[in-house]
């Protein structure tokens, strides 16, 4: 005789589906209006983040180690001073072209990079760059 496959209780299935729907709604709505972490981003910094995305700065630069490799990592670039950042954004360099950004966009991108500088550091102090561009965490890791 062939055995019948066990039937899933309809109440259990219904409960799982409702739970999945509630969790999905929670994930996609709760907390999306608030920046994670203890440091809130200013409105001008928020505008700078949108400009950073609009001009596709990630194609050349990295933030927190993620992004392109043509330009330097900008995670802690604001540590050199806001004037330093503004000079590069206004004039470009031998490698970075001058995008002729208006002053308000330069201010916004600078505010965003100041925010990024305050929220983290890269590379990790206990990390070493590998020959293929990744980072290896040194010391004890869980």
pLDDT per residue over 67-107, tens digit each?
888 888 899 989 889 999 999 899 988 888 889 999 999 99
In whole angstroms, how far apart are CA 64 and each of 16, 96, 118?
Answer: 38, 20, 12
pLDDT of residue 48: 94
Q: Cis link prior to 36 (omega < 30° from 0)? A: no
**Encoded tokens for 22:** 């509630």
pTM of the model: 0.63
Cα–Cα distance between 60 and 48 in angstroms, integer?
Answer: 17
The number of helix segments (H) and strand segments (E) in the chain equals: 4, 4
In the block, which residue shows the tokens 């043509």? 70
pLDDT of residue 142: 47
């Amino acid at each position: 005789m062939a055995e019948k496959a066990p039937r899933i209780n309809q109440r259990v299935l219904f409960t799982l589906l409702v739970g999945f729907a509630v969790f999905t709604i929670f994930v996609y709505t709760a907390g999306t209006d608030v920046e994670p972490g203890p440091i809130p981003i200013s409105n001008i910094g928020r505008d700078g983040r949108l400009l950073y995305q609009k001009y596709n700065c990630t194609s050349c630069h990295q933030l927190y180690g993620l992004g392109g490799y043509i330009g330097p990592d900008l995670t802690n670039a604001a540590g050199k001073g806001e004037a330093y950042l503004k000079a590069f954004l206004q004039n470009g360099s031998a490698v970075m072209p001058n995008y002729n950004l208006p002053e308000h966009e330069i201010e916004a991108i600078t505010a965003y990079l100041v925010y990024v500088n305050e929220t983290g550091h890269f590379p990790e102090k206990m990390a070493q760059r590998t020959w293929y561009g990744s980072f290896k965490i040194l010391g004890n890791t869980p």
